[in-house]
Structure 1
């Protein structure tokens, strides 16, 4: 059940403790993909996972602004601090738990959120009346994972499958020409760059022409399979905390 589409009485009838919370960002994704790419993709994976799961799952509305200051030079990018993001996620999970949905998988679509989500999920699990785990969809797609850039082949393929109306196909070639080959400027295993504008002309990392609709379909299937497996583990897990010893 998607909370955005439900009434409170619909929600009151749901008999489950499982919830999915999509999170992403509103940030540049090159000249060809929308600013909402990350939260749109996270929501699509959450919806597909809930539909495929053998049991009831509540899908919360997406958190659409994340930790994205690294894209601040590109117009339209919105961001909050890690502290603000963690607090918002924690309090959203707390409100889900208040209604009994206290086993929460946070479905993430933005790389910049990963560290903050792992930390806040640990805090929730240790100190709140809920159990939370983060799931980043593009880390759960098998060998495709190695092609993850930014607005590159994976995200472009995914959008071409789920939201083709939002992909500016007439800008794909420009996106490819202005892209960088990798994320950052690396010396001695250290990334010297903090902002994406330091190493990519138009915000793209990777070649979006390598991401067709067929690949997007496979990505969604793989991410969905991974999420369903995770939901099953979260539902059956003993989430009591170990003794201090």
Structure 2
């Protein structure tokens, strides 16, 4: 059940302690990808995973702004600091727990959120607020060519929100993007901001994206989420 579509009486009637909290980012994904890519993909995985799961689970509204200052040079990108982000996630999880949904899987669609989510989920678990774990969907599937606005994210969008992908711009995105993330020397990333190594913000070749791969990615990510939900349900806190 998605909280945004339910009434409070619907929510009160639910017999579950499981919740999914999608989190993402509002940031550039090259000239072809929507700014909401990380939110849209996290929501799609959350909803598909809830359907794949054998049991009742609450799906909370997504948190749309994350830790994304590295994309600040590209118009439309929004960001908050890690402390603000952690506080928002922590208090949202606490709100869910106050209604009895105190086993929470945070479904993440943005790489910049990963470290903060691991820390805040550990904190709310250790202090007894809830049992929370983060799942970053593209780490849960076979996606060695992840990139940024590359073939993985673009494929998932072609599966779930194809009308938002500017397919007429894929050639330009590939021509002025980067082959890989960062500017590394001896294992050190010398770059802090995306514009230092990618002219248009794209990393990876989005021309390699297709809907069939997106369908397979969604299936794999939703199956992974369903497995994690089952483990969270059974795990002794």
What secondary structure, in the 3-state scheme, does the structure 2 residue paired with 1:79 have?
coil
Aligned position for 1:220? 218
The one of 149, 161, 166 equivalent to 2:147 is: 149
Aligned position for 1:242? none
Counterpart-to-counterpart distance in 1, 2:184 and 2:144: 17
The answer on whether the counterparts of 1:185 and 1:192 sit within 8 Å (CA) in structure 2 is yes
- Larger RCO (alpha carbons 8 Å, 6+ apart): 2
Stretches of 4+ moved more than 4 A in 1? Answer: none
Aligned position for 1:172? 170
Counterpart-to-counterpart distance in 2, 1:109 and 1:194: 20
Aligned position for 1:109? 109
Counterpart-to-counterpart distance in 1, 2:228 and 2:78: 30
TM-aligned CA deviation for residue 132 of structure 1: 0.2
With structure 2 as the length reference, what TM-score do the two structures score? Answer: 0.99
Q: 1:1-245 residue pairs with structure 2 within 5 A?
A: 1-142=1-142, 145-239=143-237
The answer on whether the counterparts of 1:94 and 1:128 sit within 8 Å (CA) in structure 2 is no
Q: Aligned residues, how many?
A: 237
What secondary structure, in the 3-state scheme, does the structure 1 residue paired with 2:212 have?
helix
TM-aligned CA deviation for residue 178 of structure 1: 1.0
TM-aligned CA deviation for residue 179 of structure 1: 1.0
Counterpart-to-counterpart distance in 2, 1:18 and 1:192: 41
Counterpart-to-counterpart distance in 1, 2:129 and 2:157: 36
In structure 1, list runs of 5 or more residues that go unmatched: 240-245
Counterpart-to-counterpart distance in 2, 1:122 and 1:140: 19
